Amino acid sequence: MPVLAIDTSEAWCSAALVAKGASLGVKREKLGRGHAERLMPMIEELMAEAGCRLGDVARLAVVTGPGTFTGLRIGLSVARGLGLALSKPVIGLTGLSLVAGPVLESAGGIVHAVTDGRGGQAFHQMFEGLDSYGLPVPASDAGCFDMDIIREKISTRPGLVAGSGSTPAGSDTAVFGGIDPVWLARVAERLDPAVFPPEPAYFRPPDAKKATPLFPVAV
Amino acid sequence: MTEPRQKIAFTRPLVLGIETSCDETAAAIVSADADPAKRLVAHRVLSQIDDHAEYGGVVPEIAARHHISHLDRLIAGLMEDAGLSFDDIDAVAATTGPGLVGGLMVGVMTAKAIAMAAGKPFISVNHLEGHALTVRLTGEVEFPFLLVLMSGGHCQILDVTGIGQYRRLGTTIDDAAGEAFDKTAKLLGLGYPGGPAVEAAALEGDADRFDLPRPLLGKPGADFSFSGLKTAVRRAAEACVAEHGILNKQDRADICAGFQKAIGDCLVDRLRHAIADFRTAHGEGAFPLVVAGGVAANKALRARLMAVAEETGMVFHAPPMALCTDNGAMIAWAGLERFRAEPHIDDRDISPRPRWPLDAGAEPLVGAGRKGAKA
């Protein structure tokens, strides 16, 4: 029974179908925008080419964030909508752990995952090693930071840097090819849905200002 | 968990509708039962009012966060209420616009995912059409009818001749009527949502103490403008504060009463013009005058609109209060009406549209360019 993984959290629109650790098919397109229009046909194509029906899917996996506002909503809505209608569990993992995972798997050591943010900020989390499920082990709290803070974190505990924010974070070697949906599906196959729910991970408060009265008012 | 009730034979089609365009997360299932009282199979609305109150209005990012965190569970509960599975329904409808794009995206993509998984068509519904057709869900209202649509985000008078057949007779050139209520409430420290708060304060006030403007009153046509009234309200409040050092309760009540009366005078004047226009197209006769949107829940304004209907020989209709504000039933019903009219409909290629006037062919009155007409 395969796992269907989808990622629309940043520039890429991706989907993969994995069963018992083996990829049955994968689609990855760097779109920038237009994920809402592309994702559903992409899933249909993926299923058709793999010779599977949606009803065959045993569970879903999705990136919970950080990422673009619209991209996260698209991926989470589709994964949760499919999970609801198919009565199948949905696993949610942060983009930071998914950026670090494949790098830790191949290189080990310390990995700084950095994902683009807005207004000169980025999202950062440091990981060291993989746990028994193959998930990166956090070595710092995930958060949204100014870029110079992130550079300082990296220089304090040097390691590999990965993710869409690698270059602004000072890495001249990291090449980010987007989150790997096959890796997401493979690790999601082993996880407990109750522990990894598809709840959005924003790592920052919403943009909103509390209302302040223009003048004193009797209450 | 309650035992699902025995499946009864619903009159098809059965349509699931999802509404996430503003600050209500809502879903409903409706059937085509001949008896209007039996059409609404189940509905759930999760209001976000408390989440936005401290900000004095709807914050788009907070609204979108709320929708994504709650919509799937809300629909799961709805299906349980109805005792139905997704296989039992015939189509999935969602609001694709107009509205806040973050929320629209959540509703549309959730609906498309459910439709794809269940092998059902997806139906794109215009939020305003949902409001327009609600009286046909709860009663027997025939076309043509005159629609007064007044809410926090919308303010239009339309000649409705069929599903998807709208002619705009009047719209606002700045704020919606409900928006004027919300902004007035915020200015006067009455909190959010402003409609009920201003209405309650107005009950204690003297509507004639302040001389507030009635923008466009007596001018030809049926368009609205409320920004000048909003400015006048601020000046009146500032004058009171300058005198007493604080806006006291009586001053505030008098301003609210004056404001509500001014809005009412504008509505009545504009509506009379729109009725004359409507009658030019359709002739004499006891046509329905349908009032929809949150402003229809204001008792004082509702009474004034009813008086105009009586004076002009129109028959007043308004949805029940619970269906005046945003809800899933209106979206499910508009989807059902479209599905009945076009049985092979599938709007899977339609994306959220933050701006989507009902009368798509009309000259834009406000706004144009890439995003399209605002009004």
Contact B338, B37 (CB under 8 A): no
Angle of CA points B16, A78, A188, to nearest 5°: 135
- Across the range A2-23, mean pLDDT stands at 97
- Give how far A152 is from chain B: nearest CA, Å: 30
Domains present along chain A, CATH in parentheses: 3-94+179-188 (3.30.420.40), 100-175 (3.30.420.40)
Q: Pick the residue from chain B with its C-alpha nearest to A201.
A: B65
The distance of B326 to chain A (nearest Cα, Å) reads: 21
Q: Which two tokens stand for residue A18?
A: 């994995």
Q: Do B192 and A211 touch (CB under 8 A)?
A: yes
pLDDT digit of tens for each residue in chain B (375 aa)?
445 555 668 999 999 999 999 999 999 999 999 999 999 999 999 999 888 888 888 999 999 999 999 999 999 999 999 999 999 999 999 999 999 999 999 999 999 999 999 999 999 999 999 999 999 999 999 999 999 999 888 899 999 999 999 999 999 999 999 889 999 999 999 988 889 999 999 999 999 999 999 999 999 999 999 999 999 999 999 999 999 999 999 999 999 999 999 999 999 999 999 999 999 999 999 999 999 988 888 999 999 999 999 999 999 999 998 898 899 999 999 999 999 999 999 999 999 999 998 887 776 666 555 555 655
The Cβ-side half-sphere exposure at A40, using a 13 Å CA radius, reads 24
Q: Would you call B117 an interface residue with chain A, using a CB distance cutoff of 8 Å?
A: yes
B349 touches chain A (CB under 8 A): yes
| Chain A residues close to B55, C-beta within 8 Å | 208-211
Q: Do residues A113 and B141 touch, judged by C-beta distance below 8 A?
A: no
Interchain contact, A218 vs B69, CB within 8 Å: no
pLDDT of residue B368: 53
> Which positions in chain A touch B62 (Cβ < 8 Å)?
206, 208
| Pick from A84, A86, A208: CB nearest B62 | A208
Read off the pLDDT of each residue in A77-101 and give the average, rounded to a whole number. Answer: 98
- Contact A36/B238, CB-based, under 8 Å? no
* Overall size of chain B counted in residues: 375
H helices of B208-248, where?
Answer: 227-244
How close is the nearest chain B Cα to the Cα of A55, in Å? 7
Considering the entire predicted model, what is its pTM? 0.94
**Residues 81 to 100 of B: which have CB under 8 A from any A CB?**
86
**Residues in chain A within 8 Å Cβ distance of B189:** 213, 217, 219
What is the predicted pLDDT for the residue at B127?
95
CB-based contact A70 B114, cutoff 8 Å: no
**CB-CB: which of A82, A217, A219 is closest to B113?**
A82
Question: What pLDDT, on the 0 to 100 scale, is given for residue A210?
Answer: 81
Chain A residues whose beta carbon lies within 8 Å of the beta carbon of residue B61: 69, 206-208
Given an 8 Å threshold on Cβ–Cβ distance, is B62 in contact with A218? no
Q: Does A217 touch chain B (CB under 8 A)?
A: yes
Interface of B with A in 149-188 (CB under 8 A): 186-188
**Where does residue A48 rank: exposed (0-12), middle (13-18), buried (19+ CB within 10 A)?**
exposed
Long-range contacts made by residues B240-247, C-beta under 8 angstroms, separation at least 24?
Answer: B241/A215, B241/A216, B245/A216, B246/A215, B246/A216, B246/A217, B246/A218, B247/A215, B247/A216, B247/A217, B247/A218, B247/B188, B247/B189
**CA–CA separation, B315 and B310 (whole Å):** 7
- Phi-psi region at B72: left, alpha or beta (left = phi > 0; alpha = psi -120 to 50): alpha
Task: Give the nearest chain B residue to A216 (CA atoms).
Answer: B246
Do the strands A143-146 and B91-97 form a parallel or antiparallel pair, or are they unpaired?
A: unpaired
Residue B117 to chain A, least CA–CA distance (Å):
6
Of B57, B114, B246, the CB nearest to A216: B246
Q: Which residue of chain B is at minimal alpha-carbon distance from A217?
A: B247
State whether B69 and A36 contact (CB < 8 Å).
no
CA B309 to chain A, closest CA, distance in angstroms equals 38
Contacts of B107 in chain A (CB under 8 A): 77
B71, B101, B241 ranked by CB distance to A215: nearest: B241
Contact flag A218-B54 (C-beta cutoff 8 Å): no
Q: Which residues of B touch A202 (CB under 8 A)?
A: 65
Q: Please tell me the predicted confidence (pLDDT) of residue B370.
A: 54
CB contact under 8 A, A81 and B241: no
A40 touches chain B (CB under 8 A): yes
Burial of B196 (0-12, 13-18, 19+ CB in 10 A): middle
What ranges in chain A are assigned the alpha helix state H?
Answer: 35-50, 69-86, 95-107, 147-156, 181-188
> What pLDDT score was predicted for residue B1?
45
* The one-letter amino acid at B114: I
How many residues are listed for chain A in this entry? 219
CB contact under 8 A, A86 and B117: yes
Place of tokens 């001014």: B262
Asked whether the beta carbons of A5 and A16 are under 8 A apart, the reply is: yes
Residues of A in contact with B102 (CB under 8 A): 69-70, 73
Is A199 at the interface with chain B, CB within 8 A? yes
- What's the gap in Å between the CA of A214 and the closest CA on chain B? 7
The upper half-sphere exposure of residue B277, i.e. CA atoms within 13 Å in the direction of its Cβ, equals 20
Give the CB-side neighbour count of residue A190, counting CA atoms within 13 A: 11
Cross-chain residue pair B248–A218, CB shorter than 8 Å:
yes
**Residues within 8 A of B (CB atoms), A 75-94 only:** 76-86
* pLDDT digit string, tens, across residues A147-185: 999 999 999 999 999 999 998 888 877 678 899 999 999
Burial B184-193 (b: 16+ CB within 10 A, else e): bbbbbbbbbb
Q: Is residue B144 reached through a cis peptide bond, with omega within 30 degrees of 0 on the bond before it? A: yes
Q: Does B239 touch chain A (CB under 8 A)?
A: no
